[in-house]
Chain A
Amino acid sequence: MAKKFRKGGVHPPENKSTRNLPCETFPLPEVAVIPLSQHIGAPSVACVEVGQTVVVGQLIGRSGGFVSAGVHSSVSGRVTAVGDVTDIRGMRTPAVMIEVEGDTWLDTVDRSEEIVHECDLAPEEIVARVAEAGVVGMGGATFPTHVKLSPPPNTKADTLIINGAECEPYITCDHRLMVERSREIVVGATIASRALGVERTVIAVEANKPDAIEALRLAAAGRVEVAELRTRYPQGGEKQLIEAVTGRRVPSGGLPIAVGAVVQNVGTAVAVYEAVQKRKPLIERRLTVTGSGVARGGNFAVRIGTPFEKLIDHCGGLRDDQIKIISGGPMMGYATGNMQSPVTKGTTGILALSGSEARRRPETSCIKCAKCVSVCPMGLEPYLLIKLVRLGRAADAEPRAILDCIECGSCAYTCPASLPLLDFIRTGKRTVAQLKRERDAK
């Protein structure tokens, strides 16, 4: 029996129609818009000027602190503007705009296809190279990888889990990555485990990707473990994955390192491999374009900064004008009204939903069926949390562990009354976090 986290979870229709489509290299855009804040933490600071010529891999945004990451040019050409652009949320965010001319790369980048297996660098050197390349978590959360690879002094990691669960419906880019670049993933995993000094390295994949598991087992050749997990959303959640693989449970409010585990996405493993062995900064990522709203789907390796519109046009355009465009998967993705949004380091997919799929059902009364309670992987009581938040009593939701919510959306997905559970829990989380900050400040 394949492993799974203990509590809750749902199994939405997988809809992974693009799973067998090999990853295509997406053509270069005419203009790349590269946001300077593509990661969690301090935004990076632009270090190029308008009119300057840049090459692929050149640093254009300096890391703005320890929890931050550098941003590199994904194209070669001329900088046309450094200023605010509209991001996927419709908000303004600083970015560098580059008009593409040719495809000239930085000399230091090794662009050969050959796989470099050996790595005898010291852990500090590995972390430095990863930081230099601006690698962040590729699963969508975009936490700077070099921070994760250097745990705080009084903690020790003993297990590294490479996350290949890809539990989000529709999205298949990690699946294709595992099939096509399994050897790089294994090398990346061993490099990351060398940096952390862990005893155990596990690549965890959901059972609905047998070809990926086979490819990884073949590539791993016993050097790292490959674990098969039961298909269950949100298996790819950090805390859920740790529980499924090691049986340890991250304490409420704690970080994975508290139980000696570090989780990295398979895409991050490849980025670490490229950063350390090939000196290639993070300038492109794989993503899936799919959904009933586009004519055809596909998996693409896309340069960071390519606008969504280009990808959608490449896939045959939108079917009609009432389409919901989601950056990421249907469960945790972000609906956007801005087709010009650029692909960033955390864009796992572009999902175009049409018709009734795209719309919410009207809300009815809670029938106290407790389905939300049984599916919550964190063991919370969503129906109660939403009630408290709606009554303006978010403070009372704090002892009910509202901050533990991982925002997976299983509760809202399963609710027969279509209550906007996650929406209110999110607002409640924000209020509680604010109260907590005020309390700490005192």
Chain B
Amino acid sequence: MLLDSTLLYTVLILCAVGVIAAALLYVVAQRFRVEEDERIDVVAAKLPGANCGGCGSAGCRNFAEKLVASEDLAGLFCPVGGAATMKDVADYLGRAPVEKAPQTAVVRCGGSCAKRPHTNLYDGAASCAMSAMLYGGQTGCIFGCLGGGDCAAACNFDALSMNALTGLPEVDQTRCTACGACAKACPKLLIELRNKGFRDRRVYVSCRNKDKGGVARKSCAAACIGCGKCVKACAFEAIALADNLAYIDSNKCRLCRKCVAECPTGAIVETGFPALKQTKDG
């Protein structure tokens, strides 16, 4: 009997505690409820959930809050989800979708080990931020890649890796979401987010050396020497020359590739084009 009553009391007390706690929780939940637009949850679910910060917000939920609060979605774009996600979100919120060409990260330095001879040896901690603070780098070019791999470490999507042969980072554009984390990590500002381009075809100046031609050439065989040949060759005024450095505006470039052929140092790079057909002369 004793055993039975103990069991009974225990069950009853636990039930009573449960009921009281439930009532208390209900009251508290009602009393201190946070009023939140339920659309935020829906929008957040539509976002990729990578929390990369590429949109400039602190994570996807924060971005969702901004999207719901925004009148016209101006200046709000998820680089990871791209146009498809943004259209989905805009349709749900009943607003005009934001159009933005898909982008990818592009490394603007062609100074591989072979083209840019070392002038000294760095044996400090392997970090670009650190060596950039200390000095100009292991080569004569103070604008080029330091090879410390800060960009690869910053990438959340495994899209960047250091190529041991060239000493330069390489972007795997199938993985790149253009979140811009690498661009922020590079102390030399070598990584640019460029339009992906028609069929992933791009033409860009793979150099940021602002030295005068002779100095630039001496330190790196692949440097832009600011000769201006590309500017003259371009029929669409897409190339501008400033501080001994050419820059191709990807919005104006029509991918004719005349500049690529003109560049004496090979600083202008083309990607994504099919291999040229062999002519009869070879």
B135 within 8 A of A: yes
B135 with A91: CB separation less than 8 A: yes
Question: Does chain A have a CB within 8 A of B134?
Answer: yes
B213 to chain A minimum Cβ distance, whole angstroms, is 14
- Among B119, B123, B135, B138, the residue within 8 A (CB) of A360 is B123
Contacts A/B (CB < 8 Å), 28 sampled:
A86-B136, A89-B135, A89-B136, A90-B136, A90-B137, A90-B140, A90-B142, A91-B135, A92-B211, A322-B121, A335-B135, A336-B135, A337-B119, A337-B120, A337-B138, A359-B123, A360-B123, A420-B124, A420-B125, A420-B130, A423-B124, A423-B125, A423-B130, A424-B125, A424-B130, A426-B133, A427-B129, A430-B133
Determine the distance from Cα of A89 to Cα of B130 in the docked complex, in whole angstroms. Answer: 13
- A337 close to B125 (CB less than 8 A): no
Given A337-B135, A359-B123, decide whether A426 and B142 contact each other with a Cβ distance below 8 A. no
Q: A90-B135, A335-B135, A359-B123 are in contact. List 18 more A-B contacts (CB 8 A).
A: A90-B137, A90-B140, A90-B142, A91-B142, A92-B211, A336-B135, A337-B120, A360-B123, A360-B124, A363-B125, A420-B125, A423-B130, A424-B125, A424-B130, A426-B130, A426-B133, A427-B130, A427-B133
Alpha-carbon gap, A313 to B103, bound state (A): 54
B152 nearest CB across to chain A (Å): 16
- Please give, as numbers and ranges, the residues of chain A lying within 8 Å of B134 by CB-CB distance: 89
Residue B10 CB within 8 A of the other chain: no
For the complex, is B127 an interface residue (Cβ under 8 Å from A)?
A: yes
Q: Which of B80-129 contact A (CB under 8 A)?
A: 119-121, 123-125, 127, 129
Closest 3 A/B residue pairs (Cβ): A90-B136, A337-B120, A420-B125
Residue among A322, A363, A420 with the highest chain B CB neighbour number at 10 A: A420
Q: What is the chain B residue whose CB lies nearest that of A322? A: B121
Question: CA separation between A144 and B92, bound complex, in Å?
Answer: 64
Give A336 to B136 CA distance when docked, in angstroms: 10
**Chain B: minimal CB distance from A93 (Å):** 11
Taken residue by residue from 49 to 92, chain A's Cβ proximity to chain B (1 for < 8 Å, 0 otherwise) reads as: 00000000000000000000000000000000000001001111
Residues of chain A touching chain B, judged by Cβ–Cβ distance below 8 Å, are 86, 89-92, 322, 335-337, 359-360, 363, 420, 423-424, 426-427, 430
A335 to B136, CA, bound (A): 12
Q: Report the minimal beta-carbon distance from B32 to chain A, rounded to whole angstroms.
A: 31
Which single residue of chain A is at the shortest CB-CB distance from B124? A423
When distances are taken between beta carbons in the complex, the residues of chain B under 8 Å from A360 are: 123-124
Report A88 CB to chain B, min CB distance, Å: 8
Minimum Cβ distance to chain B for residue A385 (Å): 14
Closest-by-CB residue of B relative to A86 is B136
Cβ contacts under 8 Å, A427 to chain B? 127, 129-130, 133
CB-contact partner of B136 in A91, A420, A423, under 8 A: A91
CB proximity of B53 to chain A, nearest CB, Å: 13
List the A side residues contacting B119 at CB < 8 Å. 337
- Return chain B residues, CB-CB under 8 Å to A91: 135-136, 142
Taking CB atoms, residues of chain B closer than 8 Å to A92 are: 142, 211
- Cα distance A92–B127 when bound, in Å? 22
| Nearest-Cβ distance from residue B159 to partner chain A, whole angstroms | 20
**Minimum distance in angstroms from A119 CB to a CB of chain B:** 42
Q: Which of B2-46 contact A (CB under 8 A)?
A: none
Q: Which residues of A contact B121 (CB under 8 A)?
A: 322
Chain B hits for A336, CB < 8 A: 135
Residue of A nearest to B131 (CB): A423
Complex Cα spacing A90 to B138, Å: 9
- The answer for the CA separation of A87 and B129 in the assembled complex, in Å, is 20
Chain A contacts for B135, CB-based, 8 A: 89-91, 335-337
In the assembled complex, the Cα of A91 lies from the Cα of B133 at a distance in Å of 11
Contacts of B125 in A (CB 8 A): 363, 420, 423-424
For the complex, give the distance between the alpha carbons of A86 and B120 in Å: 14
**Interchain nearest-CB distance for A238 vs B (Å):** 23
In the complex, which residues of chain B have a beta carbon less than 8 angstroms from the beta carbon of A426?
130, 133
Chain A residue nearest to B138 (CB atoms) is: A337
Q: How far is the CA of A335 from the CA of B119 in the complex (A)?
A: 13
Residue on B nearest A420 in the bound complex, by CB? B125
Q: Once the chains are docked, how many angstroms separate the CA of A207 from the CA of B211? A: 50
How far does the alpha carbon of A355 sit from the alpha carbon of B282 in the complex, in Å? 52
Cα distance A430–B137 when bound, in Å? 19
Q: Which residues of B contact A359 (CB under 8 A)?
A: 123
| Residues of chain B contacted by A90 (CB below 8 angstroms) | 135-137, 140, 142
Smallest CB–CB gap between A338 and chain B, Å? 8
Nearest CB of chain B from residue A426's CB, rounded to whole Å: 7
User: With the chains together, A307 CA to B211 CA distance in Å?
Assistant: 22
Q: Inside 8 A of B120's CB, which chain A residues have their CB?
A: 337
Residue of A359, A363, A427 contacting most chain B CB atoms (<10 Å): A427
A433 to chain B, nearest CB (A): 12
A432 to chain B minimum Cβ distance, whole angstroms, is: 13
User: Nearest CB to that of B123 among chain A residues?
Assistant: A360
Q: Which residue of A lies closest to B135 (CB)?
A: A89
What A residues does B137 contact at CB under 8 A? 90
Minimum distance in angstroms from A39 CB to a CB of chain B: 20
CB-nearest residue of chain B to A360: B123
- Cα A113 to Cα B167 with chains together (Å): 58
A92 to B130, CA, bound (A): 19
**Residue on A with the closest CB to B140?**
A90
Q: Give Cα A318–Cα B35 distance, bound, in whole angstroms.
A: 74
Complex: A427 Cα to B134 Cα, angstroms? 10
- Complex contacts, B127 vs chain A, CB 8 Å: 423, 427
- Among B125, B134, B137, find the residue whose CB has the most chain A CB atoms closer than 10 A: B125
> Closest approach, in angstroms, between the C-beta of B29 and any C-beta of chain A?
35
Q: In the assembly, what is the distance between CA of A426 and CA of B142, in Å?
A: 20
Give B121-173 interface residues, CB cut-off 8 Å to A: 121, 123-125, 127, 129-130, 133-138, 140, 142
CB distance from A87 to the nearest CB of B (A): 9
Closest chain-B Cβ to A224's Cβ sits at a distance in Å of 39
Residues of B with C-beta under 8 A to A335: 135
Residue of B130, B136, B138, B142 most packed against chain A (CB within 10 A): B136
For A424, give the chain B residue with the smallest CB separation. Answer: B125
Bound Cα distance from A322 to B120, whole angstroms: 9
Taking CB atoms, residues of chain A closer than 8 Å to B211 are: 92
CA distance A337 to B123 in the complex (A): 13
Smallest CB-CB separation from B137: which chain A residue?
A: A90
In the complex, chain B residues whose CB is within 8 Å of the CB of A363: 125
